[in-house]
Amino acid sequence: MKETIAEIKRWLEAKERLTEEELARLQDDPRVGVRKLAARYMREQNRHQKEQARLEKMWHYEKQFRQRGLSLIAGIDEAGRGPLAGPVVAAAVMLPEQFQAEGLNDSKQLTAEERQRLRDRIEAEAIAIGIGMVDASEIDRCNILQATFQAMRIAVSQLDPAPEIVLVDAVTIPNLSVPQQGIIKGDSLSHSIAAASVIAKTTRDEWMAEIAKKYPVYGFERNMGYGTSEHLKALYEYGPSPVHRRSFAPVRSALEEQGEQLSLLGEKT
């Protein structure tokens, strides 16, 4: 008795891999539904192979340093250089060699749900995690780049045990006490940097969602401090909050407009 299409579908879902003969049998089946199942299986296999190749590529730098005898390898990345409000956050993460990195990628390429699932796994399995946060007033005082470096140094200093090498996305961190290796597009080429990207992004998003309760008019829980139309409208209507970066042009412009309005009001009175 020939298997039904539903039975073949369940059989395929339970199979990790088909033999060439099994696949050929499905592809030669006279039923369109069976041939469609075979085609879907091939697409899934291709997707899986590409993901495995991507993951293998993302271990390249970590493997390179392990071959040199280094085992405590930290990735570091930041979140929040561009927003008009809130802190810049850096995270440093050391992953074990056996960490299963499926799905791990630059945090900007992931959904909020994917980032949270990965964060839970990273926090459960990482050798160490460090987080550095520098607030808006310090960003205004020393500029966003120097504030980012400061957050990165804080994050690295919190790692216990201390790293033997730090992999950094694209930049060189001044005055860092441990050796470092800059990697262009590092958050898509290093698992350690990608993990740091996820931790930094989710940590900052949580902070912005919490501060939104104190300053609800700006929609921080939705825009995370970035200059969306909703945010800019509230900025010009209500003026900046204490967590806005006054050295950033849109915030400075809103302050100037607010000052002009107060000046005009004073002239009228």
Per-residue pLDDT of the chain (269 residues; tens, 9 = 90+): 478 888 888 888 888 788 888 888 899 998 899 899 888 888 888 777 776 666 677 788 999 999 999 999 999 999 999 999 999 999 999 999 988 877 776 667 788 898 999 999 999 999 999 999 999 999 999 999 999 999 999 999 999 999 999 999 889 999 999 999 999 888 778 999 999 999 999 999 999 999 999 999 999 999 999 999 999 999 999 999 999 999 999 999 999 887 655 434 334 43
In 7-31, which positions are buried (b, 16+ CB within 10 angstroms) versus exposed (e)? ebbeebeeeeebeeeeeeebeebee
> Phi, psi at residue 78, to the nearest 5°?
-125, 165
Residues 185 and 242 both lie in one domain? no
Q: Domain range spanning residue 248?
A: 216-268
Task: Check whether 77 is labelled as a binding-site residue.
Answer: yes
Residues 35 and 137 both lie in one domain? no
Residues 194 and 228 both lie in one domain? no
Residues 197 and 252 both lie in one domain? no
Of 201, 206, 211, 204, nearest to 241 (Cα)? 211
Say how far apart CA 88 and CA 171 lie, in whole Å: 15
Of 183, 191, 203, 168, nearest to 102 (Cα)? 191
Residues 80 and 48 both lie in one domain? no
Task: Check whether 169 is labelled as a binding-site residue.
Answer: yes
Residue 133, C-beta contacts closer than 8 angstroms, at least 6 positions apart:
87, 88, 89, 90, 151, 154, 203, 204, 207
Say how far apart CA 73 and CA 57 lie, in whole Å: 16
pLDDT score for 267? 42
Residues 77 and 102 both lie in one domain? yes
pLDDT score for 168? 95
Q: What CATH number corresponds to the domain at position 68?
A: 3.30.420.10
Residues 223 and 197 both lie in one domain? no
Residues 252 and 182 both lie in one domain? no
Torsion angle (degrees, nearest 10) of CA 187, 191, 193, 198: 80
Residue at which a domain ends, from 192, 211, 230: 211
Say how far apart CA 219 and CA 84 lie, in whole Å: 12
Say how far apart CA 94 and CA 29 lie, in whole Å: 50
Residues 188 and 88 both lie in one domain? yes
Residue at which a domain ends, from 58, 74, 99: 58
Residue 197, C-beta contacts closer than 8 angstroms, at least 6 positions apart:
77, 79, 91, 106, 107, 108, 169, 187
Residues 48 and 69 both lie in one domain? no
Q: How many domains does the chain have?
A: 3
Residues 106 and 204 both lie in one domain? yes
Residue 247, C-beta contacts closer than 8 angstroms, at least 6 positions apart:
139, 140, 143, 144
- The pTM assigned to this predicted structure is 0.79
Q: Where are any strands of DSSP class E within the chain?
A: 73-79, 88-94, 128-134, 165-169, 180-183
Residues 104 and 231 both lie in one domain? no
> Phi, psi at residue 201, to the nearest 5°?
-65, -50
Task: Check whether 78 is labelled as a binding-site residue.
Answer: yes
Say how far apart CA 107 and CA 246 lie, in whole Å: 27
Instruction: Considering only the C-alpha atoms of the chain, give the largest distance between any 2 of them, rounded to a whole number of Å.
Output: 95
Say how far apart CA 150 and CA 45 lie, in whole Å: 44
pLDDT score for 105? 67
Residue at which a domain ends, from 20, 38, 58: 58
